[in-house]
Amino acid sequence: MGDIPKSIRIGGRQVKITIVEDLEEYGNFTEDTLTIQLKKTDAETMRVTLRHELMHAALSISGISFIERLPEEAIVRCFDNIFFPAWEKLCKP
């Protein structure tokens, strides 16, 4: 897990990143503590999960996630499943 940082600055805020052995889900972001928790698993799953949770953090810190009736998880999954695969294909040599 060497490439997972202990924290990251996003939207001017320091977000702590912790790795948890027995986390039920792959990851979560808690706004109150500005913490991302990642389930300890293989490096690629943790990298993709961190990217997913960073999007939740960005939406939360920016205030966008507080828009009433915003389908935040649907927006994040759209980027996970549609945007990032296209981007990664574009970036390959």
Q: 3-state SS string over the chain? A: CCCCCCEEEECCEEEEEEEECCCCCCEEEECCCCEEEEECCCHHHHHHHHHHHHHHHHHHHHCHHHCCCCCHHHHHHHHHHHHHHHHHHHHCC
Q: How many domains does the chain have?
A: 1
Per-residue confidence (pLDDT) for residue 2, from 0 to 100: 61
Q: Would residue 2 count as lying in a domain?
A: no
pTM across the whole model: 0.87
> Which domain does 71 fall in, by range?
7-91
Q: Would residue 65 count as lying in a domain?
A: yes
Rounded to an integer, the average pLDDT of 65-85 is: 91
Q: Would residue 63 count as lying in a domain?
A: yes
pLDDT tens-digit series, residues 27-58: 999 999 999 999 999 999 999 999 999 999 99
Q: Would residue 30 count as lying in a domain?
A: yes
